[in-house]
Amino acid sequence: MITVAVGSENPAKNMAVKEVFEEMFSEKLEIISILIDSGVSIQPFGEKTIKGAYNRATGALTASNADFGVGIEGGVMKLGEKWYNLGFVVIMDRDGNMGTGTSGWFECPKYILDELRKGNELGDVMDKLSGIKDSKKKEGAIGILTKNHVTRKDLYKHGVQMALVPLINKKLWSSALFDK
């Protein structure tokens, strides 16, 4: 049995982790949701998004007896002249191996970016815009913006898949491959 501790009680994040681990591992799976403080602002920008995901993953692993700790942090990053929303994912195993990945990035509209810069959380901004309560636990901003063609869970699944790449291909990430 594989035990995975997710550093969040958010249903969208936990379902993304559950579905990806079920797809990528044949063993029986147990998902543990643990509320872990990200250690960053409620709406992180730039590399603080990465730090938040790392803190959640390490906190979940430390607070449990799980095989893997997963941290997912939604944030805002600048690329070129534009700002994007994304989810950053960190997965750690008990041996200290770590994988990182991101969800797809979607452009952040100016109005929303301005609200985030004021210290508002994306979920609250989207709730106000859409009239949906607790959208961050459901379809998320991406679900609202895509008319539910892509949900927050769907978006995070991609990031979890990418973060697992080094963990399911450990030989490629170790120096042992090149020690021959």
CATH of the domain at 154: 3.90.950.10
Tokens of 137: 């636990």
The pLDDT of residue 14:
97
Domains of the chain: total? 1
Q: Is residue 15 assigned to a domain? A: yes
Note down the domain range covering 50: 2-173
Per-residue pLDDT of the chain (180 residues; tens, 9 = 90+): 999 999 999 999 999 999 999 999 999 999 999 999 999 999 999 999 999 999 999 999 999 999 999 999 999 999 999 999 999 999 999 999 999 999 999 999 999 999 999 999 999 999 999 999 999 999 999 999 999 999 999 999 999 999 999 999 988 887 655 554
Secondary structure of 41-82 as H, E, C letters: CCCCECHHHHHHHHHHHHHHHHCCCCCEEEEEEEEEEEECCE
Q: Is residue 179 assigned to a domain? A: no
- Residue 109 CB burial class (10 angstroms; 0-12, 13-18, ≥19): middle
Cα–Cα distance, 151 to 136 (Å, whole number): 10
Q: Are strands 2-6 and 29-33 parallel, antiparallel or unpaired?
A: parallel
Torsion sign across C-alpha atoms 70, 76, 77, 82? positive
Cα–Cα distance, 79 to 66 (Å, whole number): 35
Element (H, E) at 159: helix 152-168
The pLDDT of residue 17:
98
The pLDDT of residue 178:
55
Kindly report whether the global pTM for this prediction surpasses the value 0.95.
no
Q: Is residue 40 assigned to a domain? A: yes
Q: Is residue 178 assigned to a domain? A: no
Nearby residues of 144 by Cβ (< 8 Å), 6 or more positions away:
126, 129, 130, 132, 135
Q: Is residue 158 assigned to a domain? A: yes
Q: Is residue 180 assigned to a domain? A: no
